[in-house]
Structure 1
Amino acid sequence: MSSHGASFQTLFKQPKSAWAVAFACIVAFMGIGLVDPILPAIAEKLNATPSQVSLLFTSYMVMTGITMLVTGWVSSRIGPKPTLLFGLLAIIVFAFMGGMSNSVTEIVWYRAGWGLGNAFFISTALAVIVSVASGGTAGAIVLYEAAIGLGMSVGPLLGGLLGGISWRGPFFGVSVLMAIAFLAVFVLLNEVPAPKRRSSISDPLRALTHRGLFTLAATALLYNYGFFTLLAFSPFVLHMDEHSLGFVFFFWGVMLAITSVIIAPLLQRKYGSIPTLNMMLFLLAIVLAVMGFGVESQTTLVVAIVIAGAILGIINTVLTTAVMDVAPVERAVASSAYSFVRFSGGAIAPWLAGKLAEWYSPHVPFYAGAVAVIVSILVLAVGKKVLAHVN
């Protein structure tokens, strides 16, 4: 099957092992959005500024990105299933400890541990789903992106509900759900053979010397800057309670899930991956600019966030598919290399967005996000020749 041949029906024709990993992916990505509705509450309860609270995202993303460099090395030695289980166990422990914390500093450090577990899980999960799912690479990526979309849509809703009780609730909620995911993977996923060749720690860095993979990774870094500016900073300017924020980002995630599974493959088939990326990145830049211009309008921000969810779903699926197509190395190594670079954008954005708002005004973080996304389009243009074979 070509990279665009996955149909919507393929999503539901999967073995139980693929469903087990997909369920764990849902819970893993719930962990990103679950914290979103409680950021203002944490800032209020623990007397912290938005930039300080945003370090919850930064520490998580920094540790996730760095750890990506060694996940392939570990997985190729102990096997994919033990690697998945180790990652899930780490998330269970550190999410629980985050809920027990009494200061922002403690939570930031535990979120870093959470990010470590997340790195071992998500980098291995994509490779495992590709190897066990039906429908080829495209079908596996649709399943993976559907899990991401569902997790990121349900996460804020559950975070808002639990956060309405206590800001600690979402942390404990993730810990419990991850324990369920751990059991599902342990019981339902058969042993997945380790790669025939043991990868070295330097393999992901060497993979980035391939211009096609580096171009897409750099594009993702800049795109993720815009993505996480929206995700981490907008709760502070919406001025809503936990429940309302949960519903806003629930609809954002629903749009992300729908477009990643249904719309993205259609656009890829009709226009190709790179033209689709260019079009969607341009639209995302416009949405971020509108959010900057209309930052005082709650209605403008809510509508823009939901529209952005639709755009982000398409970009996520198309970028991931393109990386799997262009990579000259094993999928696990390609995933580690790509994720190492792209999570850097996610790490920088939350903290810098808060600082830009403190230094200048709430408008500036969104303008900066729009500029970063425009630069990502220029990166794609520069790498046009090395991506010419990407469908």
Structure 2
Amino acid sequence: MSTENHSLIGVFKGQPRTVWVTAFAAVIAFMGIGLVDPILNTIRIALGAPETKLTQLFGVYMGVQVFAMLLTGWAAYKFGPKRTLTTGLVCIVVAAGVSAFATNIDQLIALRVIWGLGNALFIATALAFIVGQATGGQQGAILLYEAALGVGLAVGPLLGAVLGEWTWRAPFAGTALLMLAGAILCAAMLPADGPRSERKPVKLLDPIKALKNRVLLINSIGAAFYTGALFTVIAWSPLAMGLRPIYAGIIFFGWGLLTALSGVFVGPRLAEAIGERSGVIVAILAYLVTMAVAAVGVMDDQVWMIGLAVVISGIPSGVLNTLFTGVAMSAADESTPRSVASAGYSFLRWMGAAASAIMVAYIAQWFGMAAPFWFAAGYCAIAVSALILAGNGPKLNEHEVPAEAALVGAEEF
């Protein structure tokens, strides 16, 4: 992605309102990922919830997205992208709104299932509208999408922190209201779906079949282990630090901000300097170091060290958000459409997130509070080994979309 041709200022100028409406909704959707982080410890105290239940708020949220991603392409073909997207937003509104009235942790976990389903339906079609409507071509649209992702990751924890100082229920209610506004805007302003005959058919099992490609499979496994490390930070760091919502929110705001900035500015430049695959390996090794620092912080009871490691980990995370999918997609062959290969890759990657978020509390119970971070460092080592084992795939065409959200199959709608 050329940073010269697709600067943020250039991308933002002259975009139609349909792009801004979708981007606004995308920001709120991505806010949901980090919204719970600052209030996780508060929820534990208020509801008397064990850590194994708390981390399921992330595990089930990501787990349902893993399987929902296999359905979204089919749903968009059968019902239309706009209907699929709007249905996803409605699911998020309902889940977030009802969460504000939950009386126990099991209710919150069940509602996060609905929330995850809605997020998958929305994310899997949002990029289709941005790519289809944005000026500046596909790469510019991807940069705009990445900017929305970064803003959501940064603002979500901050909103959760500010509202969470009042009550842990407030962030859920606030998100529901914001997403309701996004849903109304999308329903009113996005173009209507065309006839089904104009959409390319998508079969449910096509993404799984794409994983028969050995190089794609090994790269996807590497991505799964890195994402497992990422969700160790998201799901375990708030409990390991035990901070008030405002302090935890500031830390995760810094993490999200660095993720956004490095994804837009550092990742493309690193790829230009040393190549996509080498850039991914360097970034994962840097992530490994931050996980080791966090583990030492837990062992020495130094909360500031854990917080610093979380914030700094946003730099390699942003780079990996931009580059990792490009590396995996370079393994796609001519017999497999890139969007289908992307969905198969995403299926394995987010399965790593779900498994990590569910297991992290059990790992801490069995091996100690620092163990999840040591395991995360081990995940990074496995991810690097997988990338080395996979080797280089075919070269990406510079005009194709190699970015994180390619899994939505935007070019197919």
The answer to whether TM tops 0.5 is yes
Please identify, of 63-72 and 210-219, the stretch whose mean Cα deviation from structure 2 is larger. 210-219
The 3 A distance-change label for structure 1 pair 387 and 231 is farther
Q: Deviations over 1:259-292 (max 9, x none)?
A: 1111111112222211110110110011101111
Cα displacement (A) at 1:177: 1.1
Cα displacement (A) at 1:220: 1.8
Structure 2 partner of 1:7: 7
Please identify, of 183-192 and 3-12, the stretch whose mean Cα deviation from structure 2 is larger. 3-12
Supply the distance in 2 between the matched residues of 1:287 and 1:387 (Cα, whole angstroms): 32
Whether the 8 Å CA contact 1:164–1:242 is kept in 2: the answer is yes
Structure 2 partner of 1:385: 392
Determine which of 313, 316, 319 is the counterpart of 1:311: 316
Please identify, of 112-121 and 338-347, the stretch whose mean Cα deviation from structure 2 is larger. 338-347
Please identify, of 68-77 and 324-333, the stretch whose mean Cα deviation from structure 2 is larger. 324-333
Structure 2 partner of 1:227: 230
Whether the 8 Å CA contact 1:274–1:390 is kept in 2: the answer is no
Please identify, of 293-302 and 207-216, the stretch whose mean Cα deviation from structure 2 is larger. 207-216
Q: Deviations over 1:55-90 (max 9, x none)?
A: 110111111111111111110111111111011111
Supply the distance in 1 between the matched residues of 2:34 and 2:65 (Cα, whole angstroms): 16
Cα displacement (A) at 1:107: 0.7
Determine which of 244, 249, 272 is the counterpart of 1:246: 249
Whether the 8 Å CA contact 1:283–1:311 is kept in 2: the answer is yes
Is the partner of 2:165 in helix, strand or coil?
helix
Structure 2 partner of 1:368: 375
Is the partner of 2:7 in helix, strand or coil?
coil
The residue type paired with residue 307 of structure 1 is I
Q: Deviations over 1:25-84 (max 9, x none)?
A: 110010011111111111111111212111110111111111111111110111111111
Task: Report 1:1-391 matches (<5 A).
Answer: 6-13=6-13, 14-191=15-192, 196-295=199-298, 296-323=301-328, 326-327=331-332, 329-330=336-337, 332-386=339-393
Please identify, of 319-328 and 297-306, the stretch whose mean Cα deviation from structure 2 is larger. 319-328
Whether the 8 Å CA contact 1:150–1:254 is kept in 2: the answer is yes
Structure 1 partner of 2:405: none
Whether the 8 Å CA contact 1:64–1:119 is kept in 2: the answer is yes
Structure 2 gap ranges (5+): 399-413
The 3 A distance-change label for structure 1 pair 384 and 155 is same
Is the partner of 1:165 in helix, strand or coil?
coil
Whether the 8 Å CA contact 1:141–1:320 is kept in 2: the answer is no
Cα displacement (A) at 1:200: 1.1
The 3 A distance-change label for structure 1 pair 96 and 36 is same
The residue type paired with residue 322 of structure 2 is T
Whether the 8 Å CA contact 2:8–2:144 is kept in 1: the answer is no
Q: Deviations over 1:158-212 (max 9, x none)?
A: 0011111111111111111111111222233224656632111111212222344
Q: Deviations over 1:132-180 (max 9, x none)?
A: 3333332222211111110010000000111111111111111111111
Supply the distance in 2 between the matched residues of 1:68 and 1:82 (Cα, whole angstroms): 16
Q: Runs in 1 of length 4+ with deviation above 6 angstroms?
A: 1-4
Structure 1 gap ranges (5+): none
Q: Deviations over 1:95-151 (max 9, x none)?
A: 112222111111101101111111111122233323333333322222111111100
The residue type paired with residue 323 of structure 2 is V
Please identify, of 360-369 and 190-199, the stretch whose mean Cα deviation from structure 2 is larger. 190-199
Whether the 8 Å CA contact 1:287–1:304 is kept in 2: the answer is yes
The 3 A distance-change label for structure 1 pair 291 and 372 is same
Whether the 8 Å CA contact 1:4–1:138 is kept in 2: the answer is no
Cα displacement (A) at 1:21: 1.6
Is the partner of 1:294 in helix, strand or coil?
helix
Root-mean-square deviation (Å): 2.1
The residue type paired with residue 236 of structure 1 is L
Aligned residues with identical type, % of pairs: 36
* TM-score of the aligned structures, taking structure 2 as reference length: 0.89
Please identify, of 136-145 and 246-255, the stretch whose mean Cα deviation from structure 2 is larger. 136-145
Whether the 8 Å CA contact 1:150–1:257 is kept in 2: the answer is yes
Please identify, of 206-215 and 77-86, the stretch whose mean Cα deviation from structure 2 is larger. 206-215
